[in-house]
């Protein structure tokens, strides 16, 4: 994580104190918990800008992640202390971007909601408790939901969050509304309080004072924090948050591939796997391990008809070794998902086209065919987010 030279001033600390935020004394070379969360939230916006080439925008036509980032960026731009904190790491000049309009709902945010949009948890100060006495119900809810803290091993979970977002964009996963009966178990994904949440672990079952069974959950959030909230409390929060969504696995969405087609399913295209018949020594030596993973909305045979004259096919004839007809998904983005999964094994080779111009094919991978089929199976059963490709072992390994 990049280090900023600027720190919160005493006036800033006093402001946070009035808002009920516990301010930690900053040690040399370290950030406070609030600063780390603000930085983590800003890094998510930076990843969005890097991927999409633009700053996040408001609008009902935008997905929930972009709308969240847009609100968060508005909040960051609105506070001088945040701009000072993030200035040294704003290499994309995101904070200086102009031409943004804040929605009416964002303008109406109070201070607590503002800090929450930045990923900062707030607590009611003793003075506020005297002025605004909370009900027994509110106090009990606050006690049930454990406060969030920094997730020290978030680097382990970061690839999972990135992959789930990729799968949402590819429509391999989808968002569905939660209800009062929404189940919560290890491995489940949700969007709650504007953050993606992953249920990483669960504790032993115990009986509450009311005689109900409950258990603690380890919930990891996309802003790099975690909480050990009660399962029933988490379910209640899903029900109370109108914007909360469950991120369903591919198995919940119906068929992806052609062996389970229903009347209402819509064809998306074809993922195909090829082997090259190139005479290049390296290709000949490793022919059964080198594969191209591509996508077409038409005929595969027509797509590869002129392969010997196209650098993308290594200027040689190709053999079709597997095809997967896709339904109900964005096949083009699913193809990109395969490419990202097998990126560590991308073939590093340079050819010259018929005009003598250097060309590097991007869709060829040093991956055994059975591993590609294994990835397809894991996409179908919804477990692909838990795996990554290990080129040394030539297999998918659990993250």
Query: In this predicted model, what pLDDT tens digit does every residue of 47-76 receive, in sequence order?
Result: 888 778 888 888 777 777 788 888 888 888
- With a cut of 80, say whether residue 325 has pLDDT above it: no
Residue 194 has pLDDT above 50, yes or no: yes
pLDDT of residue 357: 84
Q: How many CB atoms lie within 10 A of CB 10?
A: 8
Q: How far is CA 141 from CA 98, 137, 138, 181, 377, in A?
A: 40, 6, 5, 19, 41
Q: Tell me how far apart the alpha carbons of residues 21 and 8 are, in angstroms, rounded to a whole number.
A: 13
pLDDT at 233 over 70: yes
Per-residue pLDDT, averaged over 158-162, amounts to 89
Confidence of residue 291 (pLDDT cuts 50, 70, 90): very high
pLDDT reading at 313 higher than 50: yes
Which of 232, 229, 257, 240 minimizes the C-alpha distance to 331?
A: 257
Query: Residue 259: pLDDT band by 50, 70, 90 thresholds?
Result: very low
Q: If you count them, how many residues does the chain have?
A: 399
Q: Is the pLDDT of residue 260 over 80?
A: no
The rounded mean pLDDT for the chain is 75
Beta strands in the chain (DSSP E): 149-150, 174-177, 189-192, 195-202, 206-207, 213-214, 217-221, 225-227, 245-248, 267-276, 290-296, 318-327, 351-352, 358-359, 364-366, 387-390, 395-398
> Could you report how far apart the first and last alpha carbons of the chain are, in Å?
22
Specify the range with the lowest mean pLDDT, choosing from 154-163, 243-252, 277-286, 356-365: 243-252
* 372 CB neighbour count, 10 Å cutoff: 22
């Amino acid at each position: 994580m990049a280090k900023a030279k600027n720190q919160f001033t005493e006036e800033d600390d006093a402001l946070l104190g009035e808002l009920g935020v516990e301010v930690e004394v900053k040690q040399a070379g370290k950030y406070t918990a609030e600063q780390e969360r603000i930085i983590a939230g800003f890094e998510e916006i930076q990843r969005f800008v890097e991927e999409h080439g633009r700053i996040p925008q408001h609008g009902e036509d935008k997905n929930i992640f972009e709308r969240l980032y847009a609100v968060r960026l508005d909040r960051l731009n609105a506070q001088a202390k945040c701009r000072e904190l993030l200035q040294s790491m704003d290499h994309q000049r995101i904070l200086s971007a102009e031409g943004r309009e804040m929605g009416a709902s964002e303008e109406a945010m109070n201070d607590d909601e503002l800090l929450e949009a930045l990923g900062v948890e707030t607590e009611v100060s003793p003075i506020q408790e005297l002025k605004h006495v909370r009900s027994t119900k509110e106090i009990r809810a606050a006690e049930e939901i454990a406060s969030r803290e920094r997730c020290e091993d978030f680097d382990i979970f970061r690839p999972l969050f990135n992959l789930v977002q990729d799968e949402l964009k590819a429509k391999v996963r989808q968002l569905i509304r939660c209800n009062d009966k929404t189940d919560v178990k290890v491995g489940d994904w949700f969007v709650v309080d504007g953050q993606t949440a992953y249920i990483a672990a669960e504790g032993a079952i115990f009986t509450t004072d009311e005689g109900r069974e409950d258990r603690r959950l380890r919930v990891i959030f996309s802003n790099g924090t975690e909480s050990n909230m009660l399962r029933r409390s988490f379910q209640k929060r899903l029900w109370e948050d109108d914007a909360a969504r469950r991120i369903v696995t591919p198995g919940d969405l119906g068929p992806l591939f052609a062996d389970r087609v229903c009347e209402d399913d819509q064809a998306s295209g074809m993922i195909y796997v090829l082997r090259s018949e190139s005479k290049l020594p390296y290709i000949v030596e490793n022919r059964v391990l080198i594969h191209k993973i591509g996508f077409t909305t038409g005929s595969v045979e027509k797509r590869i008809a002129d392969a010997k004259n196209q650098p993308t096919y290594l200027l040689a004839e190709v053999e079709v070794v597997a095809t997967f007809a896709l339904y109900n998904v964005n096949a083009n983005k699913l193809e990109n998902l395969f490419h990202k999964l097998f990126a560590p094994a991308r073939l590093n080779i340079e050819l010259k086209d018929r005009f003598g111009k250097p060309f590097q094919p991007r869709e060829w991978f040093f991956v055994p065919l059975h591993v590609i089929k294994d990835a397809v199976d894991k996409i179908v059963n919804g477990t692909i987010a838990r795996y990554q490709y290990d080129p040394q072992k030539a297999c998918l390994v659990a993250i």
